[in-house]
């Protein structure tokens, strides 16, 4: 049976593996797939088993000399070129690195193709979302930038406007830089302030290049931001800008390292709020671009309690079979986690007690508090970008 949602998965994706001590352990991908399967979510999607992207495709986002450097390090990790960001603590070289990274790229391109050509309404690649990789070097656990290649494929195949929304805790710097001066791509990133977190970029005054002013929007969130404030920031910036831009395809990155238990960052978001953000972006895709939505993974380093639940929610929403946060986590999955890692998995698909649901979010239209750090950050972004789209930063 053909389904209207395509999801990238193959067991071979666990080969994107920087080693047992690295935060980006591929067990998070395997556990996500197992949880989604246990809950019946994968019964409602078409699974995509991509091959390895060609060098020609990779070169739409990366210098050929960089691709060659990745190939060399992939064949012999001792040959990794530190000047290309390879062989570092963040991006250790490993055998098969080129193939593993290029397969992720091909997966994202394939779901972009299916969505644009009408074979699917939605496409999900939670193995992807590698938003830090640059044209000439690796960065931040990212070798190839599957997002840039996917968006460029869309542009090269007739799409005139793509909106990209990044809710990872880290700034989506590689995607922003690739399309900095391209008015066809709107990039919006909500992330912990670069004053406190890698990569140290993504400021409200960054609005795009001279030929594309208004094509970039950044919300630099203060450390300690909680659910209601985070969702308020998303609601205050993303829907108005995306509606004004009127994209034909919405591409989103759903790094779940915003979570309060993530070891690499300082926000305080729950799985419940992440699920709501996934759902709101899904709804926005149906509103503005006839449901053409490509949803990607990204960061997330609490490997058991956070990533599998958050991305199972994302996949379920894309498949139009959403999972309630009160749903018990299947015993078979928790038993597997216990056997594999010697620790119990979470009991429910959400974090919050029922008496704290739903999360109440104060709409921006009710006013803002200039003394509140979150509201100051949001207003700085609105003030810099909204007028470039004909929007009123105070009220809309």
- Among the options 44, 98, 131, 132, which is catalytic? 132
Is residue 208 within 8 Å of residue 255, measured between CB atoms?
no
- Clarify whether 132 is annotated catalytic: yes
Phi, psi of 159, rounded to the nearest 5 degrees:
-75, 130
Residue count of the chain: 396
Q: How far apart are CA 321 and CA 282, in angstroms?
A: 12
The helix (run of H) or strand (run of E) holding residue 6 is: strand 5-8
Give the whole-angstrom CA distance, residue 356 versus residue 95: 47
For 47, 76, 176, 355, the CA distances from 284, given in Å and listed in that order, are 24, 45, 21, 28
CB 74, CB 97: distance < 8 Å? yes
Closest CA to 359 of 265, 273, 291: 273
Find how far residue 289's CA is from the centre of its chain: 19
Q: Pick from 241, 304, 280, 285: which is nearest to 358 by CA?
A: 280
3-state SS class at 100: helix
SS3 percent helix, strand, coil of the chain, rounded to 5, is: 40, 10, 45
What is the CA 68 to chain-centroid distance, rounded? 27
What is the C-alpha separation between 180 and 57, in angstroms, rounded? 20
Helical segments of 10-63, H only: 27-38, 55-58
- Single out the residue of 269, 297, 266 nearest to residue 197, CA to CA: 266
Catalytic annotation, residues: 132
């Amino acid at each position: 049976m053909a389904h209207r949602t395509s999801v990238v998965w193959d067991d071979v994706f666990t080969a994107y593996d920087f080693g047992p001590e690295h935060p980006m352990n591929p067990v998070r991908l395997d556990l996500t797939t197992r949880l989604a399967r246990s809950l019946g979510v994968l019964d409602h999607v078409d699974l995509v088993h991509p091959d390895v992207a060609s060098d020609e495709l990779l070169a739409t986002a990366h210098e050929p000399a960089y691709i060659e450097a990745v190939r060399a390090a992939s064949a012999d990790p001792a040959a990794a070129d530190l000047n290309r960001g390879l062989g570092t603590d963040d991006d250790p070289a490993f055998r098969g690195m080129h193939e593993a990274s290029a397969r992720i790229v091909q997966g994202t391109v394939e779901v972009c193709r299916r969505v644009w050509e009408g074979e699917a309404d939605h496409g999900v690649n939670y193995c992807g979302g590698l938003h830090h990789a640059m044209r000439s070097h690796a960065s931040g656990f990212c070798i190839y930038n599957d997002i840039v290649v996917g968006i460029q494929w869309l542009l090269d195949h007739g799409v005139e406007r793509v909106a990209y929304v990044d809710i990872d805790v880290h700034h989506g710097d590689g995607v922003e830089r690739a399309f900095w001066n391209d008015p066809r791509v709107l990039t919006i990133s909500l992330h912990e302030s670069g004053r406190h977190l890698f990569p140290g970029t993504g400021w409200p005054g960054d609005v795009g290049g001279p030929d594309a002013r208004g094509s970039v929007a950044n919300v630099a969130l203060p450390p300690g931001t909680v659910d209601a404030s985070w969702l308020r920031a998303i609601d205050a910036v993303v829907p108005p800008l995306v509606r004004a831009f009127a994209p034909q395809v919405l591409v989103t990155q759903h790094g779940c390292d915003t979570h309060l238990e993530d070891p690499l960052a300082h926000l305080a978001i729950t799985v419940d709020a992440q699920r709501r953000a996934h759902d709101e972006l899904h709804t926005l895709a149906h509103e503005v671009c006839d449901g053409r939505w490509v949803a990607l993974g990204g960061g997330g380093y609490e490997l058991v309690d956070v990533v599998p639940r958050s991305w199972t929610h994302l996949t379920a929403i894309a498949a139009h079979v959403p999972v309630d946060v009160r749903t018990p986590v299947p015993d078979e999955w928790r038993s597997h986690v216990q056997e594999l890692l010697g620790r119990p998995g979470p009991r429910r698909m959400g974090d919050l007690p029922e008496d704290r649901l739903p999360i109440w979010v104060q709409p921006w239209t009710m006013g803002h508090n200039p003394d509140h750090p979150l509201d100051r950050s949001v207003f700085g972004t609105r003030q810099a970008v909204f007028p470039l789209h004909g929007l009123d930063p105070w009220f809309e």
